[in-house]
């Protein structure tokens, strides 16, 4: 996996850095695993704009990804590694021994033709999904469940992983991508390896048009608005705008928004680093 840098033949290519897509083996998705994806343009069911700076973008189809990995009786063969417009990671099309096809989040190093499995008693190898209680300490994992049987919830984006550091009773202790250390039940499943497309953070759009293709409209800063539009607006000349806060007046930097009575607080050993 690598990134491509462009010679500035045109202004839009001056700072353009995109993926080389050399890990992708197929350009046509599996038709049976596609669903239509309707864009909202940031509007709710009444047609009112509830999220700003959303609209346009290229038409996309949703790829149905298997986050449960609950087909334990059969092993699967990796058929293709594909691009998914709905996420930063690559997805892999796998076919089980009974003929069923599914998409999974592709880990780094997964190859076409490789066999993968899921369930208890499976070897802790790249692409295999098994309970945290059976994974060796120090292993890097992704697609981690928060509750058994609910499907992967953590470490699903490009290059993400968590490290299994310890086990205490019924809980495994994980160091998450944010730096947070938390406990997860040992019966929860995780997939061995790091999520693919690890160099995604090096990419640069190069021009505003690429953001428009992704469905993002021009974004206005609060300090350039009028006082009627934003708490940080107004002032003569280039005024700083006062304390950083959201459009609704909520402080933006350092202000804790997490509910202190949240039930999952007891599972968090160390909060994420600022």
- Asked if residue 159 lies in contact with residue 198, where contact means CB atoms within 8 angstroms, the answer is yes
In the predicted model, what is the mean pLDDT of the chain?
A: 95
- Asked if residue 90 lies in contact with residue 112, where contact means CB atoms within 8 angstroms, the answer is no
Whether residue 217 is predicted with pLDDT greater than 70 in this model: the reply is yes
DSSP SS3 for 91:
strand
pTM as predicted:
0.91
Q: Name the H helices within 89-236.
A: 208-213
- Rounded Cα gap, residues 142 and 195, in angstroms: 7
Mean per-residue pLDDT, 191-199: 97
Q: CA neighbours within 13 Å on the CB side: how many for 198?
A: 11
Mean per-residue pLDDT, 227-240: 91
Reported as a single tens digit per residue, the pLDDT across 129-181 is 999 999 999 999 999 999 999 999 999 999 999 999 999 999 999 999 899 99
Q: 171 CB contacts (<8 Å, ≥6 apart)?
A: 183, 184, 185, 186, 267
Mean per-residue pLDDT, 180-194: 97
Mean per-residue pLDDT, 101-126: 96
**Residue 1: pLDDT band with limits 50, 70, 90:** low
Residue 96 has a pLDDT of 97
The fold adopted by the segment(s) 24-196+263-270 is: OB fold (Dihydrolipoamide Acetyltransferase, E2P) (2.40.50)
Give the start-to-end residue ranges of the domains of the chain. 24-196+263-270
Whether residue 100 is predicted with pLDDT greater than 80 in this model: the reply is yes
């Amino acid at each position: 996996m690598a990134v491509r840098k462009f010679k500035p033949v045109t202004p839009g290519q001056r700072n353009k850095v995109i993926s080389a897509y050399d890990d992708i083996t197929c350009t046509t998705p599996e038709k049976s695993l596609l669903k239509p994806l309707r864009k909202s343009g940031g509007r709710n069911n009444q047609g009112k704009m509830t999220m700003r700076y959303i609209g346009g973008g290229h038409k996309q189809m949703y790829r149905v990804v298997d986050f449960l990995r609950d087909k334990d009786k059969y092993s699967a063969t990796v058929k293709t590694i594909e691009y998914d417009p709905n996420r930063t990671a690559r997805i892999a099309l796998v076919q089980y021994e009974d003929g069923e096809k599914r998409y999974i989040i592709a880990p780094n190093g997964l190859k076409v033709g490789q066999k993968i499995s899921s369930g208890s008693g499976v070897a802790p190898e790249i692409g295999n999904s098994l309970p945290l209680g059976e994974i060796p300490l120090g292993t890097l994992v992704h697609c981690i469940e928060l509750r058994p049987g609910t499907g992967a919830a953590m470490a699903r984006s490009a290059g993400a992983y968590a490290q299994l550091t310890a086990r205490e009773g019924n809980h495994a202790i994980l160091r998450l991508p944010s730096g947070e250390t938390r406990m997860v039940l040992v019966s929860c499943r995780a997939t061995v390896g790091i999520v693919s497309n690890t160099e995604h953070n090096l990419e640069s759009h190069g021009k505003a048009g690429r953001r428009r293709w992704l469905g993002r409209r021009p974004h206005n800063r609060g300090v350039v608005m009028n006082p009627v539009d934003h708490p940080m607006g107004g002032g003569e000349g280039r005024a700083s705008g006062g304390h950083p806060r959201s459009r609704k007046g909520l402080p933006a930097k350092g202000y804790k928004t997490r509910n202190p009575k949240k039930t999952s607080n007891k599972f968090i050993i160390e909060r994420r680093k600022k």
